[in-house]
Amino acid sequence: MNIYQNLSAYLAEPEFASLASELPAILDEHFTNSRHGDYARWQKALGQLPSVIPSTINLANDRIQIGSDEDLNAQQHQALEQTLREFHPWRKGPFELFGLHIDTEWRSDWKWARLANEISSLQGKRVLDIGSSNGYYGLRMIGAGAGMVLGIDPTMVYVMQHLALMRYLPDIPLWVLPLRLEQLPATAAAFDTVFSMGVLYHLRDPIGHLDDMRKRLRTGGELVLETLVVEGDEHTVLVPEGRYARMRNVWFLPSTAMLTCWLQRCGFNQVGVVDVSDTTVDEQHSTDWMRFESLAACLDENDPSLTVEGYPAPKRAVITAQV
């Protein structure tokens, strides 16, 4: 994939040696020889995107802007929309490509607004974005001055969305690899900032995840962690018996106090709770670009403070911690 050729220049430091050496095999496995059933269709769609240089780019907008309406003719506009819809579902955003509004499931800009002024400066920083989806947050990080952002996400359709977006941003130092954190080659103390947004509660081993992230941060580096939480003290954690909000893969929902203890046990310090917010159906909802069920279908219709299973409705915390 041509987009990843520029990544090699950013992996010249010794701490990236393992990733640099294994990158060709990673790309070959997931792209050249991808076994995903939709990969050929997605690859064809990438080739059908209109060839145009955007006249304007704004990565600091809540709705990330790439190009303007006047950059494309009517036929190109139609081709652009038809092609981008091949990558359904669009969950993280929103975006505006050449005047086309991609109304994503999540108002990810709301989450970014909660943390943007609470974290250390990203100016010139090397950032690891875990669970990066299509790279929306990574683009906001670049817009905030990050020197490079490496995203990882195992869901292939989100990686393909990222490639579609980056077709028009070839010089932006942001890449998303189709990997989980445990699959990422060793990058000891390589990053200034690590983001983990909406990942921890999906893991059977949250402590291992926290420990792995600490090892990838340089001394003085910062973790920005966003996850589902419940109310309670340092002894409180919810382990759903089955599904939570209709999700199968939810394992641990700690209180912020317990999560603070976990982070401290893993060697983090200066742990701070930046924000705790209830997730609403205005922030997470079905749209024309994400036509599957969303939050509204996961809440008790008679008591929206509960999930359909009877657990507390989703509440998310943003926590920062230092190494």
The CATH number of residue 235's host domain is: 3.40.50.150
Q: What are phi and psi of 186, to 5 degrees?
A: -55, 130
Q: Give the Cα-Cα-Cα angle 34, 36, 40 (nearest 5 degrees).
A: 75
| Amino acid, res. 267 | G
Pairwise CA distance, residues 121 & 179, whole Å: 27
- Contacts by 19-24, CB closer than 8 A, 24 or more apart: 19/184, 19/185, 19/186, 19/187, 21/185, 22/185
Pairwise CA distance, residues 94 & 144, whole Å: 17
Pairwise CA distance, residues 307 & 295, whole Å: 9
User: Could you read off the pLDDT of 57-94 as tens digits, one per residue?
Assistant: 999 999 999 999 999 999 999 999 999 999 999 999 99
The structure tokens listed for 276 are 């705790």
Please give the pLDDT value at position 64: 98
Considering only CA atoms, which of 75, 66, 76 is closest in space to residue 99?
66
User: Could you read off the pLDDT of 16-25 as tens digits, one per residue?
Assistant: 999 999 999 9
Q: Do 213 and 203 meet the contact criterion of CB atoms below 8 Å apart?
A: no
- Structural domain count, the chain: 1
Considering only CA atoms, which of 112, 125, 85 is closest in space to residue 101?
85
- Give the residues of the chain that fall short of pLDDT 70: 1
Please give the pLDDT value at position 34: 81
Considering only CA atoms, which of 103, 46, 56 is closest in space to residue 80?
46
Pairwise CA distance, residues 87 & 148, whole Å: 25
Q: Find the domain containing 219 and state its range.
A: 2-322
Q: Do 153 and 118 meet the contact criterion of CB atoms below 8 Å apart?
A: no
Q: Check: pTM over 0.95? Answer yes or no.
A: yes
Q: Give the Cα-Cα-Cα angle 54, 56, 57 (nearest 5 degrees).
A: 95
